[in-house]
Amino acid sequence: MNNNTPYPNYEDTMSEAKQIADDSGAFGKYEEIGYSGEGRPIPLLTITDPAIDASEKSVVVFTGGTDGHEETGRASTLALAKTLLKPENATHLQKQVVLIIPTTNPDGAVLNIGPTANGISLNSSYPHDAEPLTCEADAIQTLIKEWIPDAYFDVHGLAGGSLGDGVYLYPTVNHRWSTRVLSEIGIELDKVAEQCGFPQGHPHLWLENVPSLNKWVARNQSGFSMLLESTEQYYPLEDSVRSMLPRLMHLIKLGEQTKFFQTIPNYPCDVISGNPICALMPFGDDYSSRRKCRRDMAQMIIEGVPYFGREAADPDWTATLTLPVEESVKTLPPGLVFQATLDRRATITKVLWQDHILEDSLWRSWDNGIGIVARVEIPEPPTKGDNVVKIKYEVPFKRHTTI
């Protein structure tokens, strides 16, 4: 072992993780999800209220120590676990399952190096369409596939001590919309840190073709994904943690909001394609079923959905939303949700799916203060070819031009 490894080193992290679980009563669980290349266990803390089933909650994953020589990620994720278990944060545990892996790279932590013991960067070990490159990555990706988290945050520290707090943003297959959402949250995180006395760099949009877990979650599962940096220039270590913890808690609160055209409290991951004018969203009666549907919809888009959109100008006062599915698609979700915004003066008369009138029980509408939102739930998989929803409505005005 490298005796110069800063606190918390691997042994410290393992000991504290077990102690956190021991002290948490029923709200914290410690387990080991796999082993490093040199045989060291990879720890997992599950923080949640066990009285409420996981299917009724959002799921978020936090990881630290991806680069083994960055102790701040380990310290900050442990601090997050301790903070969530305080009595004043009990409501968060009723609404979310928080999975924390405080050290994803045990060998790197012990050797005080960035990559794993075999010299492979764990941050670049998750190809989109191939098996993970390391056993550490395989263990973590297996956990991600099992839970399909609504959000994933990887917590780093800047080894070497430069002043460089900030956040990296990972767009989903819905690139335009997710970039806007990520950027807005990135700015919120900047303000949170600045209020604590820690200046931030601007959010960085990560477009490089590096096969990281952040990018895999965003692309393959349409999850809300960020990498957060905390500088290691701040000593004692508590100051580095103090620069990160408020941002992590801000993200926890984000998971309980209905921002960004979402109707169900969650991290902003449910507009899988489109935007507030026309959105494609996951189908399901609970969080667990919607997570599975979201994963399948992301895969369907990757396999062969060339576009999703709304016909311009709503001819005949009909909002027409079209989802084309090519023959190459192998993954079809069990159902679909279409959501669109109409003029506030609109009155919906009927809704059609594949030119058949839908029962009233399959759609609803409301005024969100900006327009009339129509939400249409289709309890069946899409078919190959065009899948079309038509929302017919009336308005108390006429067009000033002929379309």
Which residues of the chain are modeled with pLDDT < 70?
Answer: 1-5, 158-165, 231-235, 402-403
pLDDT of residue 205: 85
Q: What is the DSSP string of 66-134?
A: SSTT-HHHHHHHHHHHHHHTSGGGHHHHHHEEEEEES-S-HHHHHHT-SS-TTS--GGG---TTS--SS
Helix (H, G, I), strand (E, B) or coil at 179: helix
CB 5 within 8 A of CB 109: yes
Residue 71 token pair: 């102790």
SS3 227: strand
User: If you ran DSSP here, which 8-state letter would residue 205 be given?
Assistant: E
Cα 254 to the center of its chain, rounded Å: 11
DSSP character at residue 206: -
Coil, strand or helix at 207: coil
For residue 4, what pLDDT is reported? 65
Residue spans per domain, the chain: 10-254, 273-394
Structure tokens at 192: 């949170």
Given this model, what pLDDT does residue 232 score?
Answer: 55
CATH for 273-394? 2.60.40
The per-residue pLDDT for 233 is 58
CATH superfamily of 10-254: Zn peptidases (3.40.630.10)
333, 339, 269, 264: which is closest to 308 by C-alpha? 339
pLDDT of residue 5: 66
DSSP symbols for 35-58: E-TTS-EEEEEEES-TTS-GGGSE
Neighbouring CB atoms inside 10 A of 322's CB total: 15
Give residue for tokens 């915004």. 341
Check residue 119 and report its DSSP letter: S
Q: What is the pTM of this model?
A: 0.95
